Amino acid sequence: MKLWVIAVGHKMPAWAETATQDYVKRMPADCAIQIKELKPDLNPAKEAIKIREALPKGVHIIALDERGKDVSTKDLANQMSAWRQDGKDIALLIGGADGLDPELKKEAASMMRLSSMTLPHAMARVILVEQLYRAWTILQGHPYHRV
């Protein structure tokens, strides 16, 4: 299984790039995180076109949005386990300054929130990859995650 993070926003600040890569590198090949960065466009509808083009075929789409469903890290680990059993790749979408296009959000299988606060997209990216790594460690019984 591959976890695609498709994110509007390139030229990330160095701290975000370093932190993102730190977690990306910790993931094993059979649960790899692949980041696709897209250049911001004039509005979310235009960005949605680029996002759709960047989506690998047949992926299960999850939109990241502060109005999405609350998911605990344990829930995410259970989700990850189910995704791995399905053998489907997953695409997690992060919007730009004006968020994700409403039509694109409807196309997603679900919307997930990382916090009820609005995060800058660089921060959302770092938190997402850390949570994916943490979820993976839960499935492995790895001591990174302490209950």
User: Residues comprising the binding site for S-adenosyl-L-methionine?
Assistant: 64, 95, 114-119
Residue 102 touching ligand SAM (CB under 6 A): no
Say which DSSP state 79 is in.
Answer: H
How many residues of this chain interact with ligand SAM, rule: CB under 6 A? 18
Q: Count the residues in the chain.
A: 147
For 99-136, b/e burial (b = at least 16 CB within 10 A) is bbbeebbeebeebbbbeeeebebbbbbbbbbbbbbbbb
Residue 51 touching ligand SAM (CB under 6 A): no
d(CA 114, CA 131): 9
Residue 99 touching ligand SAM (CB under 6 A): yes
Amino acid symbol at 69: K
For ligand SAM, which residue of 12, 38, 65, 132 counts as binding (CB under 6 A)? 65
* Minimum CB–partner distance for residue 99 and ligand SAM (Å): 3
* Minimum CB–partner distance for residue 112 and ligand SAM (Å): 6
CB 3 within 8 A of CB 32: yes
Residue 101 touching ligand SAM (CB under 6 A): no
Residue 115 touching ligand SAM (CB under 6 A): yes
Residues contributing to the site for ligand SAM (CB under 6 A): 64-66, 94-95, 97-100, 113-115, 117-121, 124
